[in-house]
């Protein structure tokens, strides 16, 4: 991989998909920095990643916190933002506050990280966002998140033009088994859900954080890829 010695900042790197990306970067000899809100989670994850990974606290709902993060981290080659969550409500159940809270992190957090982070990105650098398969195959049970992840994909494609030659890409996952990372949990219900989901997909298996990490490696190292939405979804969006 061409990312050895690159400096990679992963916001959301303390668990789940971000931790999967951080581990893959570290194995491929990048200098890894992870950032999120909880110092405790960050410290545990830095030990898990190894290879001299570093961490900083940030809350992407605060512009000041984002500005301070970049001042502390300095110049980077690749910026990855995985921070986000799912609002599990239908349109009829959503208040305006629910809708705005979803957009606050899932969209505006990524907008502000790009806005304040771009001047710290080195020549040849890239940005990667995580969206979700519901951007292209909307799910009315997670109405607002289907909308916000679609907005992230539209923003990334437009940023690929606005920030050129910085490359901007998106990984769009469906269900990923994060039970072995950070805050992930595996109870009977989750196990059954993962098994039935696997059976329903063309891939006949569920994705792993490593699958997401490998996708991120590809997007960081291939200089001809920008404005792309890379589906890592077991074929969910084609059935």
- Full strand arrangement of the beta sheet holding 229-232: 54-57, 31-36, 7-11, 76-81, 121-130, 167-173, 229-232
Q: Computed over its alpha carbons, how large is the radius of gyration of the chain?
A: 17
CB of 104 to ligand NAP, least distance (A): 8
Q: Which is nearer to ligand NAP, 38 or 200 (CB)?
A: 38
Q: Which is nearer to ligand NAP, 38 or 141 (CB)?
A: 38
CB of 82 to ligand NAP, least distance (A): 4
Non-local CB neighbours of 177 within 8 Å, separated by 6+ positions: 184, 194, 206, 207, 208, 209
Q: Which is nearer to ligand NAP, 2 or 171 (CB)?
A: 171
List of residues contacting ligand NAP (CB under 6 A):
11-12, 14-18, 36-38, 41, 58-61, 82-86, 105, 130, 132, 173, 175-176, 178, 182-183
CB of 184 to ligand NAP, least distance (A): 6
CB of 83 to ligand NAP, least distance (A): 4
Q: Which two tokens stand for residue 155?
A: 């923003």
Q: Are 133 and 173 in contact (CB under 8 A)?
A: yes
Q: Which is nearer to ligand NAP, 124 or 190 (CB)?
A: 190
Closest by CA position to 108, among listed 59, 39, 165, 175: 59
């Amino acid at each position: 991989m061409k990312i050895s010695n690159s400096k990679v900042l992963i916001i959301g790197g303390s668990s789940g998909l971000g931790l999967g990306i951080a581990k893959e970067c570290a194995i491929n000899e990048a200098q890894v920095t992870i950032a999120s809100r909880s110092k405790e989670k960050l410290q545990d994850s830095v030990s898990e990643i190894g290879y001299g990974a570093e961490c900083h606290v940030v809350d992407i709902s605060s512009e000041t916190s984002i500005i301070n993060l970049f001042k502390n981290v300095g110049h980077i080659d690749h910026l990855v933002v995985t921070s986000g969550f799912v609002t599990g409500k239908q349109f009829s159940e959503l208040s305006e506050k629910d809708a705005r809270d979803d957009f606050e992190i899932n969209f505006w957090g990524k907008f502000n990280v790009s806005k304040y982070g771009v001047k710290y990105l080195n020549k040849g650098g890239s940005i990667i966002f995580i969206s979700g398969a519901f951007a292209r195959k909307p799910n009315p049970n997670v109405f607002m998140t289907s909308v916000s992840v679609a907005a992230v994909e539209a923003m990334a494609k437009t940023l690929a033009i606005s920030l050129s030659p910085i490359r901007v890409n998106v990984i769009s996952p469906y269900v990923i088994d994060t039970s072995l990372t950070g805050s992930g949990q595996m109870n009977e219900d989750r196990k059954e859900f993962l098994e039935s989901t696997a059976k329903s997909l063309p891939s006949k298996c569920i994705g792993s954080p490593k699958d997401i990490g490998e996708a991120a490696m590809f997007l960081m190292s291939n200089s001809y890829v920008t404005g792309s939405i890379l589906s890592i979804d077991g074929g969910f969006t084609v059935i």
